[in-house]
Amino acid sequence: MRETTNELIEVLRDAREQAKFLDELGVENIALDSSDESIPVAAVREASPTPVEPRVAEPTALESPITNVAESKPAAQLAETLFEDLNASETALTKSAETIEQIWADIGDCTRCGLCEGRTQVVNTHGNRKARLMFIGEAPGADEDAQGKPFVGRAGQLLTKMIEAMGMKRDDVIIGNVNRCRPPGNRQPTLEEAAICRPFLFREIAAIQPEVIVVMGNTALRNLLEVREGITRVRGKFRDFRGIKVMPTFHPAYLLRDPSKKRETWEDLKMVRDYLEQNS
């Protein structure tokens, strides 16, 4: 009986961890499988009896409360297919001759996945085309969908302050997302949605060739770097993306809900600032 109780507590704890992260991104409801039913994220958060540190339970390719993927493929095969572009090359990223405008023209009025049905407009990467520093988040929110630029809402305003604290201006950097269309209810993009949109981001990185990329939050982390750990465990240390320095840190939306994490985020950004200054 005690073992069963402990298992139940652990399940509730993991569910609360994921719900808390989704809540930081503005998700209000979680779809139940493929049905139309949904449950409030707040209800999941309140179900756990014990506070835990903010990280997302590690979902498998076929096992996520908000991810709908093709069930006809075995999990290993599906994961290999969705993440094959991450494994395509471990060598340095070659400078691309493409322009950002050419990439955007290829994206066009994109209808490659179902996110096109609910969006107002495609939200492309925005900023300095010759930036040494690039910030990457998850997907547009309501404000971004309305204005057509990434990070213009409350989280974007905080990001601007973070950039200025580094001694830079927003016009000095370039900012984008893994996905360019707003998911319904600001939910997390599915594996398939991210896999469809991610190659355009990689092409932009190849064209821009930033020296450092700051990935903000778990979705950006997992779609740029093939790691299983959550952002809490990997933040604060430089990673490598095909020859480009990558610093994982918390998403600004999370900082709005948990200001205590601003100190850790600032430590991450100071390392980025120092690296850029030392290699100027």
* Cβ atoms of 128 and 168 closer than 8 Å: no
157 contacts: CB under 8 Å, gap ≥ 6:
none
- The stretches of 30-134 forming alpha helices (DSSP H) are 41-47, 75-82, 84-87, 100-107
Domain 95-278 has CATH 3.40.470.10: yes
Order of strands across the sheet with 244-249? Answer: 126-127, 174-177, 133-137, 212-216, 244-249, 239-241
* Tally of residues, the chain: 280
What amino acid is encoded at 258 in this protein? D
Q: What is the pLDDT along the chain (280 residues), one digit of tens a residue?
A: 555 665 666 556 656 655 654 554 444 555 554 444 455 555 555 554 444 334 333 333 333 333 333 334 454 555 455 555 555 445 678 888 999 999 999 999 999 999 999 999 999 999 999 999 999 999 999 999 999 999 999 999 999 999 999 999 999 999 999 999 999 999 999 999 999 999 999 999 999 999 999 999 999 999 999 888 999 999 999 999 999 999 999 999 999 999 999 999 999 999 999 999 999 8
Residue 243's φ and ψ, nearest 5 degrees, are 90, -5
